[in-house]
Amino acid sequence: NRSVGFIFQSFNLLPRASALANVMQPLVYRRMGRAERRERAELALARVGLSQRMQHLPSQLSGGQRQRVAIARALVAEPAILLGDEPTGNLDSQTTLEIMALFDQLHAEGHTLLLVTHEAEIAEHCDRSIRLVDGQIVEDRRQVGRHARH
């Protein structure tokens, strides 16, 4: 988990752990101290708009809030590469825009994002989109200059 962060479509949250504990979990494997784990997890949850829900269990959160916990968990270790399986699939339209703005910010900071989606709007947002049909590439489209670095 040092180089790659995963956003799972099914969230894979620990049901008996708070949102904060779920986000802290990947940092345990890095042998990071509890205070630093907590600080990083709080910042990650704030980035996805869940500062007020840190102590809630997954069962106390909406589907969109659980998805944002999963995104925060993927971001907490500051990975170079972020892989997302339908990362906005359970979000309302406003929260989707906010998360895509966050992804834009991460990309601008030098992170690589690879998203799998069925949503055309999300695919169109990306620098490059590869469309598959029956396991075959049928389109490989680049948007030149979309996120050009200066």
Long-range contacts, stretch 39-43, CB < 8 angstroms, 24+ apart: 40/76, 40/77, 41/72, 41/76
Among 79, 69, 73, residue whose Cα is nearest residue 49: 69
Q: How far apart are CA 49 and CA 72, in angstroms?
A: 10
Cβ atoms of 74 and 7 closer than 8 Å: yes
- The pLDDT-based confidence of 89 (bands split at 50, 70, 90) is confident
CA triplet 70, 72, 74: central angle to 5 degrees?
A: 70
Give residues with Cβ within 8 angstroms of 55, minimum separation 6: 18, 19, 20
Give pTM, 2 decimals.
0.86
Our measurement of the distance from residue 60's CA atom to the centroid of its chain's CA atoms, rounded to an integer in Å, reads 20
pLDDT digits (tens, 9 = 90+) for 6-38: 998 889 999 999 999 999 999 998 889 999 999
Domains in the chain and their CATH numbers?
4-142 (3.40.50.300)
Answer yes or no: is pLDDT of 147 > 60: no
